[in-house]
Amino acid sequence: MDEAEEVNSNRKSISKTRKQMNENSPAFLTYKILYEAVSICHAHGVEHVVLCPGSRSAPIALSFMRFEGIKHFVIPDERSAAYVALGMARQTKKPVALVCTSGTASLNFAPAVAEAFFSELPLIVFTADRPAEWIGQADNQAIFQTNLYGKHVKTAFTFPTELSHPDSEWYAIRQVNEALNIAKIQPKGPVHINVPLREPLYLDEAYDFGILSPKKVEIVQSERTLPSSVYDNIAHYQRIMVVSGTHRPNKTLVELLSKLGSESKIVFVPDITSNLVNIPGSISFAELIIDTIKPDEISNFVPDLVISFGGPIVSKSLKNFVRNKEIKEHWHLSGHPGSADTFQKLAKVFDIDSVGFFKAVLENGKLQPNPEFARNWANSQVDIKPKTKIALDSLPFCEVKSAYQILSSLPDDVVLHLGNSLPVRFASVFPFIKSGTEIYSNRGTSGIDGTVSSAAGQSMVDTQMHVLICGDLAFMYDSNGLWNNYLKDNLKIIVFNNHGGGIFRTLPGAKAQKELEEYFVVKQPLNFGYTAIQHNCHYFHCKDFETFQITLYGFYAITGKPAVLEIEFREDLSIENLKQMIK
């Protein structure tokens, strides 16, 4: 049979099936509309869907599974699944769909939905539901799902339950189009589509809907330009500091900011999660500089204008420095009216992205920089880096030193994931990391509950090596991130096991309390060999210098399945100790 004949014969069998099927039956209409909804998702760029098992969700899940252009992943733990989807959205820069059944399953999506909201990542969350009249009637797996995620989604819809009227189909497809467009438009974010479904939930036989072409509604965005008044306005400031928060890698931005920084036109301070750390001309060791400047020299480092872009900033020292000093204005780029006033000095929010802004400023800006301001920062960084290295090298085996050694010797082309709380702080304070290393952390809400899953999600849709460094509580909390059938050997997890929430031993308020160990640290005696092996991962362990380097080498080199390296620490030196040593 040639190809055309085969298609024809397929068509015949489909139309035969179609005749046998009652096309007005509620189940048929449900599947048809959901299949159209999936087609619309695909038309809007959805390439991956994470599905959580359940019966009420079957029509949605099966529609996704039977649609060829979207790759599906089935993950049983909804909290983990949602973080996996978040990781995929972060890695692919595309919207990712997520599906669960009714009841508490949908509540378990909430942590990742909140993280996606504050990290501006597009998740398309489908929750199956019971029809409205069955909520609160002691029926199975029924909770209040309308607007379940509150303000943590950009918008929420409820699908029509009665699908027999043709307007219902138009309404449902309109919702999916709106949801996708809203999720993708800046600031990106999660959207919720609650889908009440009546029984029967299954078609008697698998039905091929062929190619449906529901109408995609597209947003056509116009280019934004900078008003010319800004060029004169910016010339009033001689000491401009540019601060980037969480941002995805962007080569054009690297070029623009490297040029502005290297020519001392601005002082550029990148956050550890900005993917701009250590680019030429950047001041990536700003926290150490701020915390070791002599009080009588501070005024030489204070900017008169701060321009920020991107998401949250990890360094508290930097945030306090900008908040507490006499700075004339703060401008935020690529913002929306609700942009965060991080430094309590927000004066202007620019409706243009950072690339557009800096390109325009480079081409047309009448920048009048004070060369001394940039020189002070650059010289301090030249001074502080070797001092920091000497201090770190002199330390005994401890978390701070291990973090330094791992960060400064990462293999080429790895994607680095930093767990809350100490790992991301270590990297933020002493970022001895190759420029160009991609770095991610769940800093939208700084939770410790999806650290493994989000890194796993990124690694599933990528071929590079993904290295996660996280604490023992974060690892245990989200060890279900290892409970799925999709992990590959490009996932490497380093657990810093200080037997509790080590961060609290370093926080001035918490460490002074008599309840420190019981309430804050929650000391735990565990090791993670069984956890790793149970989840079919290689397992490495070390607790001293003698084995550290060789273990690390083997850990990176091993293939075949994911690897977990547990580094066990007894006592630690805090970042504060390190700063004192440098001072």
Ligand X SMILES: Cc1ncc(C[n+]2csc(CCOP(=O)(O)OP(=O)(O)O)c2C)c(N)n1
Asked whether position 169 contacts ligand X by CB under 6 A, the answer is no
Binding-site member from 77, 78, 129, 449 for ligand X (CB under 6 A): 449
Binding-site member from 30, 273, 284, 421 for ligand X (CB under 6 A): 421
Tokens 């969700």 map to which residue? 57
* 3-state SS class at 450: coil
Asked whether position 447 contacts ligand X by CB under 6 A, the answer is yes
Residue 467: what are its φ and ψ, rounded to 5°?
A: -110, 120
- Name beta bridge partners: 491: 466
Report the nearest approach of ligand X to the CB of residue 471 (Å).
2
Contact stretch for ligand X (CB under 6 A) within 68-76, 163-171, 276-284, 447-455: 447-455
Tokens of 259: 């040029």
Contact stretch for ligand X (CB under 6 A) within 30-38, 67-75, 466-474, 552-560: 466-474
Report the nearest approach of ligand X to the CB of residue 273 (Å).
16
Nearer to ligand X, 40 or 470 (CB): 470
Contact stretch for ligand X (CB under 6 A) within 226-234, 341-349, 367-375, 444-452: 444-452
Contact 76, 100 (CB under 8 A): no
* 3-state SS class at 406: helix
CA distance 75 to 453: 11
Nearer to ligand X, 281 or 501 (CB): 501
List of E strands, 376-460: 414-418, 438-440
Of 457, 451, 390, 393, nearest to 424 (Cα)?
Answer: 451
Asked whether position 448 contacts ligand X by CB under 6 A, the answer is yes
* 3-state SS class at 360: helix
Binding-site member from 17, 55, 141, 446 for ligand X (CB under 6 A): 446
Number of residues this chain uses to bind ligand X (CB under 6 A): 16
Nearer to ligand X, 471 or 481 (CB): 471
CA distance 161 to 128: 11
Binding-site member from 276, 293, 410, 422 for ligand X (CB under 6 A): 422
Per DSSP, the chain holds a count of helices (H) and strands (E) of 22, 17
Report the nearest approach of ligand X to the CB of residue 420 (Å).
5
Residues in contact with 194: Cβ distance below 8 Å, sequence separation at least 6, in sequence order = 127, 129, 145, 146, 148, 156, 157, 158, 159
CA distance 80 to 483: 9
CA distance 438 to 455: 12
Scanning residues 498 to 527, which ones bind ligand X (CB under 6 A)?
498, 501-503
Nearer to ligand X, 380 or 420 (CB): 420
Of 467, 427, 470, 426, nearest to 448 (Cα)?
Answer: 470
Element holding 511 (H helix, E strand): helix 508-511
Binding-site member from 420, 459, 480, 484 for ligand X (CB under 6 A): 420
Report the nearest approach of ligand X to the CB of residue 172 (Å).
35
Nearer to ligand X, 153 or 403 (CB): 403
Report the nearest approach of ligand X to the CB of residue 444 (Å).
12
Report the nearest approach of ligand X to the CB of residue 506 (Å).
8
Report the nearest approach of ligand X to the CB of residue 419 (Å).
6
CA distance 583 to 574: 14
- Binding string to ligand X for residues 377 to 416, with x set by CB under 6 A, is what? ----------------------------------------
Report the nearest approach of ligand X to the CB of residue 421 (Å).
4
Binding-site member from 37, 290, 468, 474 for ligand X (CB under 6 A): 474
Nearer to ligand X, 436 or 529 (CB): 529
Asked whether position 472 contacts ligand X by CB under 6 A, the answer is yes
List of E strands, 286-437: 305-309, 329-332, 346-349, 414-418
Binding-site member from 473, 542, 567, 575 for ligand X (CB under 6 A): 473
Report the nearest approach of ligand X to the CB of residue 505 (Å).
8
Nearer to ligand X, 287 or 472 (CB): 472
Contact stretch for ligand X (CB under 6 A) within 65-73, 161-169, 429-437, 467-475: 467-475
**How many residues appear in the chain?**
583
Q: What is the pairing mode between strands 267-270 and 491-497?
A: unpaired
Report the nearest approach of ligand X to the CB of residue 446 (Å).
5
Of 226, 223, 234, nearest to 360 (Cα)?
Answer: 226
Contact 302, 330 (CB under 8 A): no
Asked whether position 471 contacts ligand X by CB under 6 A, the answer is yes
Nearer to ligand X, 29 or 474 (CB): 474
Residue 245: what are its φ and ψ, rounded to 5°?
A: -95, -160
Contact stretch for ligand X (CB under 6 A) within 55-63, 158-166, 420-428, 434-442: 420-428
| 451-460 helix and 78-92 helix, angle to the nearest 10 degrees | 50
List of E strands, 185-304: 191-196, 240-244, 267-270
Scanning residues 482 to 501, which ones bind ligand X (CB under 6 A)?
498, 501
* 3-state SS class at 10: helix
Please report, as ranges, the residues that interact with ligand X according to CB under 6 A: 420-422, 446-449, 470-474, 498, 501-503
